[in-house]
Chains A and B, each alone.
Chain A
Amino acid sequence: MSERQIQLEVLRYNPETDSEPRYQTYSVPCMNEWVVLDALNYVKDNLDPTLSYRWSCHMAVCGSCGMMINGEPKLACKAFIHEYTDQVRVEPMANFPIERDLVTSVEDFIAKLACVKPYLIPKSDQPVSAGAFQQSPAELKKFKQYTLCINCMLCYAACPQYGLVPEFLGPAAISMAHRYNQDSRDGGRDQRQEVIASDEGVWECSFVGACSEVCPKHVDPAGALQQVKVASTLDWYKEHLMPWMKK
């Protein structure tokens, strides 16, 4: 197993003592098969126990370790050391306020996710005795890719429109709304449209496409948002030009 000395440049911020963030460089002996998260863990265990960052599963499932690695939104557990030179810069996710070191405030995203009602809203109440809601494989496939979202927020770190207009609902929240709108068992689209078809909803998106490029789970939020725009536009024309078609 080969070992390589990596200069890990980490953006640090201590709210108790710092007025603004600063870089601190650690020299880390990295094994070739390590990921950046392993290097951070090495720092925490051996060089500097004060370094703060979030992580949990180490296998791209929990979505906790999102950060900017050489300026690119990445999961630290999925960023292999062998893909980088000897100099690696690690910063907290862009577009989010820094809480401490690599830890960002995620309240804004959580609130946005909640407001699109990301859960099944059945068309009608059905007693348990009526059995399960049936769904065909084709109906499942229609939205399946969106269920792979792990709420890691890398798409928000990649989205310049979210950075520029923080009110924007953003890629993951709208994709999640779209996921339930596309679900054959769901009847909550009208409720979600009130939120996602607003100016701060899907209409802040200008299809930069960065969200889909950085998604570690290969979800396509950019595609979802364009589909929401198409559907919302058809809604608008139906509502205003053909009012007799309404519902």
Chain B
Amino acid sequence: MNKPYVRPLSKTSWFLTQPRYKRYMLREVTCLFIFAYTFLLIWGLKRLSEGPDAFQGFLNALHSPWSVLFNLAVLIAAVYHSTTWFNVTPQAMPIQRGEEFVPGNIIIGAHYAVWAVVSLIILIIGIRGM
């Protein structure tokens, strides 16, 4: 007799069933912070285009406990995104040299090195000006 039983799967809470699914959702949710943060940058760009007074107004508006909290949350989310992104690059973009594949750790390490350099440049330009 053929009467297969299909187990129900919750469309809204499936990710609570395994730790790896929770980590995955955490990774995916980082995009909401990056989305919101990019609009903060666009707003800053708008104020920059309106002259020194407007830009000072933007900096003043940025100076609030909520803003500190928001930027801190974005920072944490962005770092989580970066690490999860770089850690899987050898899977998505393996490099074969001759017969052997380049070890994943070398590809990941190269990304972290570039990340450090880029971050340093941004911090120097962002904080000290050109």
Assembly CA distance A227 to B88 (angstroms): 12
A226 touches B92 (CB 8 A): yes
Tell me whether A15 and B21 are in contact in the complex, defined as CB-CB below 8 angstroms, given that A141-B101, A160-B15 are known contacts: no
Q: Which residues of A contact B18 (CB under 8 A)?
A: 71, 210
Tell me whether A98 and B7 are in contact in the complex, defined as CB-CB below 8 angstroms, given that A138-B99, A164-B14, A213-B20 are known contacts: yes
Which of A16, A206, A213 lies in contact with B28, CB distance below 8 A?
A206
Assembly CA distance A160 to B9 (angstroms): 9
A210 touches B92 (CB 8 A): no
Assembly CA distance A229 to B88 (angstroms): 14
A163 touches B88 (CB 8 A): no
| A137 touches B (CB below 8 Å) | yes
| A119 touches B (CB below 8 Å) | no
Q: How far is the CB of A92 from chain B (nearest CB, A)?
A: 8
**Which residues of chain B from 84 to 122 have any CB-CB distance to chain A below 8 Å in the complex?**
88, 90-94, 96, 98-101
How many B residues are at the interface, by size bracket?
Answer: 20 to 34
Tell me whether A209 and B24 are in contact in the complex, defined as CB-CB below 8 angstroms, given that A97-B5, A138-B99, A142-B96 are known contacts: yes
Q: Which residues of B contact A105 (CB under 8 A)?
A: 4
Mask: chain B, 11-51; 1 = CB below 8 Å from A; 0 = not: 10011011011001000100000000000000000000000
Q: How far is the CB of A226 from chain B (nearest CB, A)?
A: 4
Closest A residue to B90 by beta carbon equals A223
Q: How far is the CB of A11 from chain B (nearest CB, A)?
A: 9
Interface residues of A (CB under 8 A from B): 13, 15-16, 18, 20-21, 71, 94-95, 97-99, 105, 137-138, 141-142, 160, 163-164, 206-210, 212-213, 220, 222-223, 226-227, 229-230
Interface residues of B (CB under 8 A from A): 1-7, 9, 11, 14-15, 17-18, 20-21, 24, 28, 88, 90-94, 96, 98-101
**Closest 3 A-B residue pairs measured CB to CB?**
A223-B91, A97-B4, A226-B92
> Can you list 19 A-B pairs, Cβ within 8 angstroms, ordered by A?
A15-B1, A15-B2, A15-B3, A15-B4, A20-B5, A21-B7, A94-B7, A95-B9, A138-B96, A163-B9, A164-B11, A209-B24, A210-B18, A210-B24, A212-B91, A223-B94, A226-B92, A227-B93, A227-B94
